[in-house]
Amino acid sequence: MSIKKIGKAVLVSFLDDIRYKLEDTGQIFLLSGKLTDEHKASYYSLQSPKYPFLANFSKTKEDLYQKELETYEFQRKHELDRLIAYVNSAVLSEPVKAYAILKKGNMSQKIYSVYKDNVYKFDRADYSSEQMLLQINDLEEDEKRKFEYLKNKANFVQQERGPIPKSVQREVWRRDQGKCVECGSQYKLEYDHILPFSKGGNNTDRNIQLLCETCNRRKHNNI
Ligand SMILES: [Zn+2]
C-alpha cells in the first residue's frame, strides 16, 4: 500500500459535476460518479427549485459569484456561500474517489481521492472508502508526529542557543568565585562561552566561564 498527499484543494464547481482545484498547481480533480447517497442528496438539492438562480449560471464558483454580484442583490452571495460550505462538508465527510483531469481533456486512472480539503494519490484504484480512510489517517498521524518532532527539536535548539539560564549563571559565578578565570579581576565580569555556539558549544555550566571584559575581548580577538 502506498499513499501520497498531493495538496490542498478548493471546491470550484458543483452544478453539473463536482470539481476541486489544487491550490498550488491549479490541477483539476473531478469527483467520480461513486458518490454516496448523502453526497448525491446534497448535490441534487442544489438543482432543486429552491435555488432557481443557480440554473442559469455557468459552472464555476468564481463565475457564480461574479454573476451573483452583477445580477442579484448582495444577500444572495451569502446564500451561495452557505451552499458551498454545505456541499464541501457533505462531500468531504469521507474520502471520495476522483479523476485528475489531464491535458488534452484526458482523465487519469482513478487513483486519487479528495477528503477534507486535501487530494491524495493512491497506488491502486480499487481501494474502498474505508481502506482509503485508514491510509489517510496513517499518513496524517505520521505527518503530525514528524511535525511534533521538528517543533520539539526547534525548541531544543532555541533553548540551547538562547540566553544563559539563571541557574547556570549562578552555578558558574559560584564555581569561578566571582572572579575572571584569566586574571582574577572582579571588574566588569561577563559570562563567556568557552566553545562558541557556532562551533557546537551550548549553555551548560561546563561550557561557560567568567571573564572580565578585557580578557573576553582579547580572547575573541584571538579566535
Ligand atoms: Zn580578566
Residue 175 and residue 105 share a domain:
no
| CATH (domain of 213) | 1.10.30.50
For ligand 1, the distance from its centroid to the CA atom of residue 180, given in whole angstroms, is 5
Residue 185 and residue 121 share a domain:
no
Residue 83 and residue 119 share a domain:
yes
Is residue 172 within 8 A of residue 155, CB to CB? The reply is no
Residue 39 and residue 98 share a domain:
yes
For ligand 1, the distance from its centroid to the CA atom of residue 153, given in whole angstroms, is 36
For ligand 1, the distance from its centroid to the CA atom of residue 212, given in whole angstroms, is 4
For ligand 1, the distance from its centroid to the CA atom of residue 165, given in whole angstroms, is 23
For ligand 1, the distance from its centroid to the CA atom of residue 100, given in whole angstroms, is 70
Single out the residue of 19, 23, 27, 20 nearest to residue 8, CA to CA: 23
Query: What's the confidence (pLDDT) of residue 74?
Result: 47
In a domain, 82, yes or no: yes
Number of domains in the chain: 2
Question: 169 CB contacts (<8 Å, ≥6 apart)?
Answer: 191, 208
Residue 199 and residue 134 share a domain:
no
Residue 105 and residue 7 share a domain:
yes
Q: How confident is the model over 66-124, as pLDDT tens digits? A: 655 555 544 556 666 776 776 677 667 778 788 887 766 666 666 888 888 899 999 88
Q: Is the pTM higher than 0.75? A: no
Residue 119 and residue 46 share a domain:
yes
By residue range, what is the domain housing residue 185? Answer: 166-222
Residue 184 and residue 93 share a domain:
no
C-alpha cell at position 211 = 571573564
Is residue 185 within 8 A of residue 212, CB to CB? The reply is yes
| Residue corresponding to grid cell 499513499 | 3
> At residue 62, what is the residue type?
E
In a domain, 67, yes or no: yes
| Residue corresponding to grid cell 480539503 | 117
For ligand 1, the distance from its centroid to the CA atom of residue 210, given in whole angstroms, is 8
Q: Which residues surround ligand 1, an ion (CB under 5 A)?
A: 180, 182-183, 185, 212, 215
Residue 176 and residue 112 share a domain:
no
pLDDT by residue, tens only, the chain of 223 residues: 789 998 998 877 766 667 888 888 888 888 775 455 655 565 555 555 555 555 544 455 566 566 555 555 445 566 667 767 766 776 677 787 888 877 666 666 668 888 888 999 998 888 888 898 999 999 999 999 998 888 887 766 665 677 888 999 999 999 999 999 999 999 999 999 999 888 888 889 999 999 999 999 998 887 6
Residue 97 and residue 51 share a domain:
yes
Residue 57 and residue 123 share a domain:
yes
> How would you class 173 by CB atoms within 10 Å of its CB: exposed for 0-12, middle for 13-18, buried for 19 or more?
middle
Distances (CA, A) of 147 to 5, 117, 151: 15, 19, 6
